Amino acid sequence: MGYAGGRKPEPTYRSMGDHTETTQVDFNPALISYREILRHVWASHDPRRNHYSRQYQNAIFYSGEAQKAAALETMAGEQARLGREVKTVVAPLDRFWAAEHYHQKYYLRGHQPLLGEFSRLGYDDARFRESRVAARLNGLVSGFGTKAQLERELPEYGLSDPGVMYLRNVIAEGSGATCG
């Protein structure tokens, strides 16, 4: 989580200036394409309208010519599909400013036993923010991913036995990953 799209240097939640609350995800293009990610982005909001506040506006911030082409092409596709102007902002990314640490991995922060795993392993705030395991656990505890995926990847997470038990319980109770 962070801030982008504005000009104010070093924005914070309480002093965001002209920035927008923004998500930045790392991905491996061998596993998922930028266009596939865009497909999810377009499907996750109503492009026919946008928020009046820059803080909450819908936006795609592209980096580089390939992302620009994909973003503009998919925007044109949305316009054709909807038959009207797309209000979603599509603009080049100038700079992404990471938000304060307490905004990172929001759902995972509700699970202290799992947070404790990262403390045990000596993670600081920046490493926690960039951790693929933290990103995965954040998704799992908020209902994304599958039990099969969990069991397949569990050995790679590096969790303690109590941590594994806790995570399995969260999933089994149904507040976490969906069946599959």
Partner 1 sequence: MRMIAEARQEQERQGLPLDLHAPTRVETATFALG
26 touches partner 1 (CB under 8 A): yes
Whether residue 167 contacts residue 134, with contact meaning beta carbons closer than 8 Å, is answered with no
Binding mask 47-86 for partner 1 (x = CB under 8 A): ---xx-x-xxxxxxxxx---x-------------------
Stretch that binds partner 1, among 78-86, 88-96, 103-111, 172-180 (CB under 8 A): 88-96
Backbone angles phi, psi at 162, to 5 degrees: -60, -35
Token digits of residue 16: 């965001």
CA distance 24 to 3: 9
> Within 10 A of 44 (CB to CB), how many other CB atoms are there?
8
CA distance 81 to 40: 16
Stretch that binds partner 1, among 14-22, 76-84, 140-148, 166-174 (CB under 8 A): 14-22
Radius of gyration from C-alpha coordinates of the chain? 18
121 touches partner 1 (CB under 8 A): yes
Residues in touch with partner 1 (CB under 8 A): 4-5, 20-30, 34, 37-38, 41, 44-45, 50-51, 53, 55-63, 67, 89, 93, 96, 121, 130-133, 136, 153-158, 161, 164
